Structure 1
Amino acid sequence: RGVAETRWAPSVEEGLAAAQSLLRPGDCVLVKGSRAMGLEAIAEALAVVPVR
């Protein structure tokens, strides 16, 4: 139960790369942070990039 794994990344690009390397079909992702951080770029990229 609970969160299986969490990650922190110093940049949007590194966060996206980390997320893409961890995700599997059926996974659910919560992208949380301020808009000033630019996290919507991660959410948008994950919405269109197929999971490996």
Structure 2
Amino acid sequence: FFRRSIQKNILYTCHRDNTCIINKVTRNRCQYCRLQKCFEVGMSKESVRNDRKKK
């Protein structure tokens, strides 16, 4: 999810004022809050490799 979002430069929006709870059960309900949680836990855009080719 994180790699695809960064590589495709996808912009998500939250429909619940950015207050969604993201856990294993609810993570697919709001992509915006899921991506924000990725950033909160330390994932960075710079660490995503863009040079990897598909098979």
Normalised by the length of structure 1, the TM-score is: 0.31
Normalised by the length of structure 2, the TM-score is: 0.30
* Greater relative CO (CA pairs within 8 A, separation 6+): 1
Q: Which has the higher helix share?
A: 1
Which is higher, the Rg of structure 1 or of structure 2?
Answer: 2
